Structure 1
Amino acid sequence: MVSEVLLVSAPGKVILHGEHAVVHGKVALAVALNLRTFLRLQRHSDGKVDLNLPNIGIRRAWDVASFQQLDTSFLEQGGTTVPTPEQMEKLKEVAGLTEDCPNHECLAVLAFIYLYLSICRKQRTLPSMDITVWSELPAGAGLGSSGAYSVCLAAALLTISGVIANPLKDGEPVSRWSSEELELINKWAFQGEKVIHGNPSGVDNAVSTWGGALRYQEGKITPLKRPPTLKILLTNTKVPRSTKVLVSSVKSRLLKFPDIMAPLLTSINAISLECERVLGEMAAAPTPEHYLVLEELIDMNQHHLNALGVGHASLDQLCQVTRAHGLHSKLTGSGGGGCGITLLRTDMERPEVEATKQALESCGFDCWETSIGTPGVSVHSATSLDLPVQQGLDNL
């Protein structure tokens, strides 16, 4: 029996190693970031579906009866393909979206409508519900916020529809679904990502579903076994960048200097593989020496990324500030600004961590102390959440 209120969370993601090289067939390591998206679903019987997305200022409501009367046969054509422009227009019509709706808001609503109708329409009556989704992840920062959103929606809708069971037992603070159920969550979340992004890689929703770390190469996604949870500082330089432009610039440089650039990409691939090996060792018994190797790999990869041409003065500043505190940083994602990660060793004293955070914030950056390699999509009891998270939900 599904409880009256369902509370689900899913993590964001960062690329640990392999940015840009992955575009050219090399290995990338993606890890779950413990800044999470939370979804609260409450069943009711008022005949309405309410969607509240406070992070982007969206609140919408629909009559279930209006959905019941729709011809949703066009959803059957969705399968595992990217929704066609015609299907997207049909979804906009179903959702009642106007032409002046901002694109990111429009896509978030469309992903919900797509998943709600696709997953729930085989029930005799579409369910009435309130859904609120709130996130610790900044949108548009390359941290997998839309992937976490899609995963939360898929997990909640599949559970509320009875397609998968709610794994949370009485008295448990948190629980996760079985591997088979996670596969189904990931499949539907990928469909939600296609609505939002068109033709995504599938990495973001996979990391958000499974958690931990995974290897990605030429479309093949392989979860790493029992990766360790590592503490980091995540820093957003708040410098805007275009992933498309940066990817294109690397390609141009590769064509111009093939004998220089190709070895750099091969070296980045080797860094990813060495990191994967070290993480495997750390799962059994982490040592200070492992952290020293991870720091060296971070430094080498950051230099390589600068050589690829995707660095930025703000990222150089981030690395200089953390180096002054004995820490090692690199960009994560497409570069050109955006975000960077800083590894925190287990022997770091609290005052030193706080001093580093203050120094970064004094540069005008946003900084979070968090962790990577954390669990994927989970269901919670309301009393299990940290106080700041609970307060965030209570204030919605």
Structure 2
Amino acid sequence: MKTISYSAPAKVILSGEHAVVYGKPAIVAALDLRLKFSLWEDKKNPTDKTILLIVEKVKEYLKKQKIPFKDKKFNFKFESNIPIKQRLGSSAAFCVATAAALLEFYSGREFDRETINNIAYQTEKYFHINASGVDNTTSCFGGLIFYRKEFEFLKTISALNFKIPKKIEEGLYLVDSGNPVESTGYMVNNVVGEKYNKSPRLTEEILNDIEKTTKRMVVSIVKEDKEFFAKSLIDSQIFLDMLGVVSKKAKNLLKDLEPYGYGKVTGGGGKKEGSGYMLFFADKIKEFESYCKDENIAYFKFKQSYEGVRKEV
């Protein structure tokens, strides 16, 4: 029985979440956590709606490109160490790895990342109605991505040829503020979307400020400037709070952690309860880790992934 397996990484938005939906740039890093999807030929087809949607998109693509394929049944499994519903791109990693595996399963050959990414984006919109495409793009290509979507047909995807410098990365953590009860789609459409509809001028100003912060963060990484990076992190959090995507619980946690560094919500955020994992830059590493352990605050070390989607043996 031949098994086809692909894996894809998680992602962390360093700056630009929510603003990226409105044509502003985002800088995003692939995270060294992965989801692996495996499938093999079987007598019965899966009934999972998400899988069937990806199957449909893959077949549509193959037909459109007039690529011969064999329509056969399959079974599957997936394993992941990406926390779910924590704004770290677990659904995007799933879409990317699944699309890659299904393309090879039906056609008998491997496909380029652009094709995999396009299909993953079509299915990612099933999870998040107003998906920007930044999550699946980062998961597909890996590394550090500068992403901007002006229109559906006009996207700028720049795989940056530099890394987060060691002296910044060694202080970076992901800290759990608690599971958001809202979906990312709800936060995009019902929180920020409604704010934009009610106060377009004010919201546009905030989004413009987020764009400036994103660009400053890129500069801080290139120049390996810890202080400038920390300032960008602080500003990003302020503007996300102004958009209404940071819960009271998350704000209180950041206040408790203030003696040890600076943090921000990453991804969609959350309003009523938790806001998911937050990106935290500790300038007092030992004290930060000790405090989190004493207070039972879940955290893990930020580690970049330089690989996007890959075939697993």
Q: TM-score, normalised by structure 1?
A: 0.64
* Paired letter, 2:193: S
- Structure 2 matches for 1:48-63, cutoff 5 A? 48=43, 61-62=44-45
Displacement after TM superposition at 1:152 (Å) = 0.4
Residue number in structure 1 paired with 2:307: 375
Cα pair distance change 1:156/1:119, threshold 3 Å: farther
Residue number in structure 1 paired with 2:78: 133
2:93 pairs with 1:148: yes
- Structure 2 matches for 1:1-396, cutoff 5 A? 4-41=2-39, 43-44=40-41, 47-48=42-43, 61-62=44-45, 107-115=49-57, 117-118=59-60, 123=68, 125-127=70-72, 129-162=74-107, 164-165=109-110, 181-197=112-128, 200-212=131-143, 213-219=145-151, 220-229=155-164, 230=169, 231-241=172-182, 242-243=186-187, 244-252=189-197, 254-255=199-200, 258=201, 261-279=203-221, 281=222, 286=224, 290-324=225-259, 326-335=260-269, 336=271, 337-344=274-281, 351-352=286-287, 354-358=289-293, 361-362=296-297, 366-372=298-304, 374-381=306-313
* Paired letter, 1:40: S
Structure 1 unmatched ranges of 5 or more: 49-60, 63-94, 98-105, 166-179, 382-396
Cα pair distance change 1:159/1:239, threshold 3 Å: closer
Larger Rg: 1
Displacement after TM superposition at 1:216 (Å) = 1.9
* Paired letter, 2:156: I
Cα pair distance change 1:202/1:303, threshold 3 Å: closer
Cα pair distance change 1:307/1:118, threshold 3 Å: closer
* Paired letter, 1:11: P
**How far, CA to CA, are the matches of 1:160 and 1:150 in structure 2?**
15
* Paired letter, 2:206: L
Percentage of identical aligned residues: 26
Partner SS, residue 249 of structure 2: helix
* Alpha-carbon contact 2:21-2:131 (below 8 Å) kept: no
Displacement after TM superposition at 1:160 (Å) = 3.5
**How far, CA to CA, are the matches of 1:306 and 1:195 in structure 2?**
27
**How far, CA to CA, are the matches of 2:141 and 2:86 in structure 1?**
21
Displacement after TM superposition at 1:164 (Å) = 3.8
* Paired letter, 2:148: Y
Partner SS, residue 250 of structure 1: helix
Cα pair distance change 1:161/1:371, threshold 3 Å: same
Structure 2 unmatched ranges of 5 or more: none
Cα pair distance change 1:311/1:9, threshold 3 Å: same
Displacement after TM superposition at 1:151 (Å) = 0.7
Q: Give the number of equivalent residue pairs.
A: 293
Q: TM-score, normalised by structure 2?
A: 0.78
**How far, CA to CA, are the matches of 1:194 and 1:303 in structure 2?**
28
**How far, CA to CA, are the matches of 1:119 and 1:309 in structure 2?**
39
* Alpha-carbon contact 1:310-1:334 (below 8 Å) kept: yes
